[in-house]
């Protein structure tokens, strides 16, 4: 480690800058989002190093463990210890013997970078592009413009780091009426989703009883993570990729993108059930 001292981080740092705009250059201070290497260590073995914002790292580690299939349930995580240093962080997890043995069998080198969730994967087979179809939820969420527009309009007020830096993504958990209940931010869009999922798992929130709103585009790994957790509806502010759409269709996940205050685009075309509950 670069420093033995444990420190607290705010999620951004102040930097002296020179702003060039309109008139003469001006000295100023700018807030910049923090990005640190975070090592995820399972039963003493370092399994992954992800670049992330050093906040909510326990939730991040739990969410990553679930969405990457390292554990199948939160109960398989027995202990989590977060160690945050000045320029790096470690999260030590103690997982069940069964989950640890399975992890060692398929262990691969992961070197996550901002905006990339599969860096370091050694072969195409490890990408897991054939998701099983999610079980039918007890109560289906059928999207409506009013619900999506309500969530989209409310999201900026929950984005503390975005207001400070202009450089992070947000992952929000919304109820069936579009009310935002939880929001997590990170320089990596997939990290933000992992933090949100980890928090929901630790709070034992039923993940088939609401939907996720992301401030980013819909890439394949975000859809795959959501499908693993049986999240039935994923809404994103920006565009989807073709693979994200295909994964969503295979898993039975409803994917909405280009979500704005005046509408959205439905990319999976899931038809509402007769008499289904409105989202």
In this structure, are 121 and 151 located in the same domain? no
For residue 198, the model assigns a pLDDT of 98
What domain range is 69 assigned to?
36-127
Report residue 233 as tokens: 């509806």
Does a structural domain hold residue 107? yes
Query: How many domains in the chain?
Result: 2
Q: Identify the active-site residue in 3, 116, 119, 259.
A: 116
Residue 56 lies in a domain: yes
Domain identity same for 172 and 253:
yes
Residue 13 lies in a domain: no
Q: Do 103 and 185 reside in the same domain of the chain?
A: no
Whichever domain contains 227, its CATH number is 3.40.140.10
64, 97, 127 - which closes a domain: 127
Q: Evaluate whether residue 26 is within a structural domain.
A: no
In DSSP notation, 79-147 reads EEEEEE-SS-EEEEEEE-HHHHHHHHHS---EE-BTTBS-TT--SGGGG---PPPPPPPSS--B--HHH
Specify whether 41 is located in the same domain as 95: yes
Residue 161 and residue 115 share a domain: no
Residues of the chain with pLDDT under 70: 1-5, 107-127, 270-279
Q: Is residue 11 part of a domain?
A: no
Active site residue 174: no
| Domain end (from 127, 158, 192) | 127
- What pLDDT, on the 0 to 100 scale, is given for residue 277? 40
Q: Which residues pair with 41 in a beta bridge?
A: 46, 92
């Amino acid at each position: 480690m670069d420093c033995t001292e444990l420190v607290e981080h705010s999620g951004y740092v102040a930097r002296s800058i020179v702003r060039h705009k309109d008139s003469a250059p001006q000295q100023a201070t700018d807030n910049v989002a923090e990005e640190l290497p975070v090592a995820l260590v399972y039963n003493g073995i370092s399994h992954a190093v992800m670049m992330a914002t050093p906040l909510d790292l326990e939730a991040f580690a739990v969410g990553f463990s679930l969405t990457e299939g390292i554990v199948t349930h939160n109960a398989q995580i027995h202990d989590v210890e977060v160690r945050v240093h000045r320029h790096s962080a470690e999260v030590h997890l103690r997982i069940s013997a069964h989950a640890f043995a399975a992890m060692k069998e398929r262990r691969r080198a992961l070197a996550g970078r901002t905006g990339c969730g599969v860096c370091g994967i050694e072969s195409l087979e490890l990408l897991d592009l054939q998701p099983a179809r999610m079980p039918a939820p007890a109560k289906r969420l059928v999207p409506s413009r009013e619900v999506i527009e309500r969530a989209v309009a409310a999201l900026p007020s929950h984005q503390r780091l975005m207001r400070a830096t202009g450089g992070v993504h947000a992952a929000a958990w919304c109820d069936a009426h579009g009310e935002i209940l939880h929001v997590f931010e990170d320089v990596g869009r997939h990290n933000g989703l992992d933090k949100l999922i980890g928090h929901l798992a630790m709070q034992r929130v039923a993940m088939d009883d609401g939907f996720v709103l992301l401030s980013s585009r819909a890439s394949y790994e975000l859809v795959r993570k959501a499908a693993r957790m049986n999240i039935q509806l994923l809404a994103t502010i920006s565009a989807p990729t073709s693979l994200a759409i295909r994964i969503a269709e295979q898993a039975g996940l409803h994917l909405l993108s280009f979500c704005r205050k005046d509408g959205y685009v439905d990319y999976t075309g899931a038809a509402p059930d007769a008499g289904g509950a409105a989202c």
